[in-house]
Amino acid sequence: MGDHIIIDYQLLLFLIFSLGSFVFVGFIVYMMVKASQFLKRKALNDKEVLQKMDELIKLLQLSDKRV
C-alpha cells in the first residue's frame, strides 16, 4: 500500500515537470514570434522615418537655396 502512494507522487511530479516544461517552451516560442513581429514593424517604421527625414532635408536644402 505504501509503494502505491510513492508511485502516485512520482507520476504527479513527472506530470508537473512535463507540463512545466511544455509551458516554458511554449512561452519561449511565443516570445520569439512576438520579437519577430516587433522587429518587422520596427524596420517598417524606421524606413518611414528615414524617408520623412530625407524629405525634410530636401525641403531645407531648397529653402536654403532660395534665401
Q: Is the pLDDT of residue 53 over 80?
A: yes
Cell of 26: 511554449
- The rounded distance, in Å, linking the Cα atoms of 55 and 67 is 19
Integer angstrom CA distances of residue 29 from 7, 24, 35: 33, 9, 10
* pLDDT value, residue 66: 77
R_g (Cα) of the chain, nearest Å: 29
Q: Is the pLDDT of residue 65 over 90?
A: no
**67 contacts: CB under 8 Å, gap ≥ 6:** none
pLDDT tens, position by position, 5-51: 556 788 889 999 999 999 999 999 999 999 999 999 999 999 999 99
DSSP 8-state assignment for residue 1: -
